[in-house]
Structures are given as C-alpha cells and as structure tokens.
Structure 1
Amino acid sequence: MNEQQQLNYNRIAEAIGYIRANFKEQPSLEQVAEQVHLSPFHFQRLFSEWAGTSPKKFLQYISVEHAKDLLKANKNSITDIAWETGLSGSSRLHDLFINIEGMTPAEYKQGGKNLAINYSFAESPFGNIIVASTLKGVCYMAFNEDESAALKDLANKFPNASFTRKLDLLQQNALFIFQHDWSKLHQIKLHLKGTDFQLKVWEALLKIPMGQLSTYGDIAQQINQPNASRAVGTAIGSNPVAFLIPCHRVIQSTGLFGGYMWGKTRKAAIIGWEGARISTDH
C-alpha cells in the first residue's frame, strides 16, 4: 500500500469510526466529510471506491438496528439457512467448507516442525494482509500494516516451521475473494492448526452465509455445546485465517458488533462491504 493509498484508508477508517459512534444521529454526508477534512463530493467518490457503496447505504448496513433485524429473522434457523444457501453459488462463502483439514496431533504439538510454509503480502479493501500456506492449503491470514510484525506473528503461530516468501497458487485463489471473484471459491483450501473444539467452531463460522450475522450463543448451539458461549468466544478469538473464516459475522446477542481481533472499525467495514455486495447481487 503506497502513501496515498494509506492516507485514503486512514480517512475512510476514521469516517467509519465516526459513523459507528454517531449512527443514532444519522450524520449527513457533509458532517462525515467534514470529520475527515474532505469536500462532500470528494468524500462520496473516495468512500464509494473503497467500500463499494455510498456512505448513506453504508451507514444503514452497520447500524445496530440492522444487526438486530438480521438476528431476529434468523433466530431459530441459522443452521438451516446456512445449509440451504451455503452452496447456492456466487453470493455465499460456505463453499470454503468443502475442504477444511486440521493438522495431526503431532504437527500441532511440535509447533509445525518439518512444516514448510510459504507466505506473501497483499493489499485488500481493508488494509494490508499477510497470507501463508502449506502444501495442503491456507494456514494463516491476518491484517497488518507492518510486514515485520506480521511475519513475527506468523512465526509465533508456527515456531518450528520453515518459511519462504513466495506467492503460490493456494494464496492466489484465496486472495481472489477480495476481488469478488466467486468463481474461485471451490479452489480455496484451508489447512488449520487447532484443537478439535476450535476446528468445530471455525467450521461453524464457515456456515454463516455472507450478509448474515450470528451470535456466540448461536455458534455454541450449532456445535452442540449450548453452555459454551464463552469458550466459543475464545475459539473465535483464536481464528488464524482472517476474513476467509468469517469471525467478523459473529456479534453480541444484544445486537452490538462487539470486538474483533483486527479492530472494531475494520469489522464494521467488512460487514458493510459484504452487505453492499449482497444488495448488488440481488
């Protein structure tokens, strides 16, 4: 991300933060533009390019009332809806569920010993990311503007693995998702390091359709652990693959968006971006 792109990202992130904090007042285009020191015309164009929708529509998508409506509509049928729509094609991410494979107990215990990992850096609509893969699939993806810090975090996940900076086909297929190229979804493979419980939670996240939201309690019900909402939250917080495993689609039962490993503003941005894509598709 060059200096101008970084500046634009920061401005849009600041605008999203302002909208989130003031959604009850339904701020006008002029009010939000003023917060980021841009003319309304320039801000409208820049925001639409970055988020894929207008500031007005984006405000609607990230409002708490919208989140509550989604939850209410799917209160008793999150799982049914996920299975019914998950393989319906261009507007769903459930296709990722086609290939999810946990590491062997030995690989997990040894911290990736003898595991060769390729990694690369890329730009996304939500900031710079690092993506890493084994021969079996994508094992790690995270938002991070600092490449050195990103690589350090990756190494901490797999302390005994060997690393090569290389963009391979597995990573390329995963990155197509940011370009809205849904035709590549069936080619995305995941190779996940986690406990049995974590893998069950991450699988459940993959079943949440794009444009829909779920709660920690809903996920606990889906994995047949209805009293494990807190443990579910911990597993979600350990998600090693940003965006592809959509932990951003899990919110609090009150309708509030709640926390996100890569920042609340980014979470709101992704939810809005996906909502805009669903609106466009339909």
Structure 2
Amino acid sequence: MERVYYASIDSPIGPIWAAATDAGLLQVHLRWSEDAILSAIKRRIDAQIIHDPGRFEELRGLLEAYFDGERVAFDLPLDLRGTDFQKTVWRAIHKIPYGKLSSYGRLAAAVGRPRAVRAAGNAVGANPLAIVIPCHRVIRSDGSLGGFGGGLDLKRYLLGIEGVLPPPGRRDFQSLEREYPRTRKDLLRYFFE
C-alpha cells in the first residue's frame, strides 16, 4: 500500500497543509482544516496516511522565505496526479516566474491548445499544489484577477508579496499611480511583455 505523509506548516495566512508521497509533493492547500486535507487524500489515493512534519522541512523553509518577500523557486519533487492535460497545464504554470503574470488564454496557447481556454481555466482551478504551482499568477486576459481557491483576498495578498500588486494595506495611492501603469492596456503590457 502506498504511503502519504502530511503535516501543517505555520504561515502568515494561517496553516498550510501539505501532503507528499515518496515520489514528491502531492498537495499543498491554503485555508484548509486537518479534516479537509485527510478527506482530500482519501478521495485521491488508497494509501496509508502518516502525520510526519519532519518530511516537510524543505517546503517549510521555502514558504518562510516566500512570505518574507524573497524570490523563491519551488523546485521540489512533485507527484502530479491528474489528467494528461491538467499535468501539462500545471507544468506550464510552474514555469511562470516570480512576480510575473499570465492569462488563461496565454496558458492554453503555451500548452499547444489555444482554443482550450476554459479547459485551461478548469485545470488551473484543479491545481493541487497552491503556491508551489503558482496558479495565483494566472489572471483573466482583461486584467481582472479571475478566481482562486483560497479567495481573491488571498490571491491579492500573494501577488502583493511578489510585487505584482500593491502590498496589502498600502494606502499611498499617489505613489501607486507613479509606480504602476494607469490604464488596463498599459497594465497588461507592463506585466505580459
């Protein structure tokens, strides 16, 4: 029987729940409970489930650095389980650099399926590895945020950490106008070119 290890990692946004197999990270979820992560594991895999916080020390260190505002590449072994299309989309998302954005349309084109924008969006929504596979960096082509499993407030927060949006709580709108593009067209050009 396969083994799945899990633990929570403290963060500024609350506990982050992680699960891994011997092959690599399987799930990383924000704003979940222990019951929710255990239920998700049981739905996906018939496995022996073991609480093992020590197994996630590298992820813990990377997340601490990320929340401290450091540019972090989550180059960890991953155990991706989904359809071939989902895994292709998740790998493409994993390549979106820190502090950059992509759109659902660009993502569909990047995986060779430019007309499959909705399917790409569904794959983004099914991403089991929040932050590690940075689906928070995918927005709508009109520049609006789109969705996020942890909620749009959390998506804004993560993008603010990366300097893509003004940091949370910042109220100096005059300096924001100087630092960020003024029109939606300029915003798209600023982040996508």
Larger CA Rg, structure 1 vs 2: 1
What is the one-letter code of the residue matched to 2:60? L
1:118 paired residue number: 5
Give, in angstroms, the shift of residue 185 of structure 1.
4.8
2:186 paired residue number: none
Structure 1: gaps of 5 or more residues: 1-113
> What is the distance in 1 between the residues matched to 2:138 and 2:71?
25
1:129–1:143 CA contact under 8 A, matched in 2 = yes
% identical aligned pairs = 35
Which one has more relative contact order, counting CA pairs under 8 Å at least 6 apart?
A: 1
1:173–1:187 CA contact under 8 A, matched in 2 = no
Matches within 5 A, 1:210-225: 210-225=98-113
Structure 1 or 2: larger helix share? 1
Q: 2:65 aligns with which of 169, 175, 180?
A: 180
What is the one-letter code of the residue matched to 1:134? T
> What is the distance in 2 between the residues matched to 1:186 and 1:247?
13
What is the one-letter code of the residue matched to 2:142? T
Matches within 5 A, 1:23-38: none
2:27 paired residue number: 140
Give, in angstroms, the shift of residue 125 of structure 1.
2.4
What is the one-letter code of the residue matched to 2:31? N
Give, in angstroms, the shift of residue 145 of structure 1.
4.6
2:50 paired residue number: 164
- SS of alignment partner, residue 256 of structure 1: coil
Matches within 5 A, 1:1-282: 114-158=1-45, 160-169=46-55, 171-180=56-65, 185=73, 188-275=76-163
- SS of alignment partner, residue 145 of structure 2: coil
2:92–2:110 CA contact under 8 A, matched in 1 = yes
What is the one-letter code of the residue matched to 1:244? V
Give, in angstroms, the shift of residue 190 of structure 1.
0.8
1:141–1:240 CA contact under 8 A, matched in 2 = yes
TM-score after normalising by structure 1 = 0.54
| Alpha-carbon displacement from aligned partner over 1:1-54 (angstroms, at most 9, x marks no partner) | xxxxxxxxxxxxxxxxxxxxxxxxxxxxxxxxxxxxxxxxxxxxxxxxxxxxxx
- SS of alignment partner, residue 6 of structure 2: strand
Aligned length: 162
Of the structure 1 ranges 202-211 and 175-184, higher mean CA displacement relative to structure 2 is found in 175-184
Give, in angstroms, the shift of residue 214 of structure 1.
0.5
RMSD over aligned Cα, in angstroms? Answer: 2.2
Shift in CA distance, 157/145, structure 1 to aligned 2, threshold 3 Å: same
- SS of alignment partner, residue 155 of structure 2: helix
Give, in angstroms, the shift of residue 153 of structure 1.
2.5
> What is the distance in 2 between the residues matched to 1:217 and 1:133?
31
2:74–2:132 CA contact under 8 A, matched in 1 = no
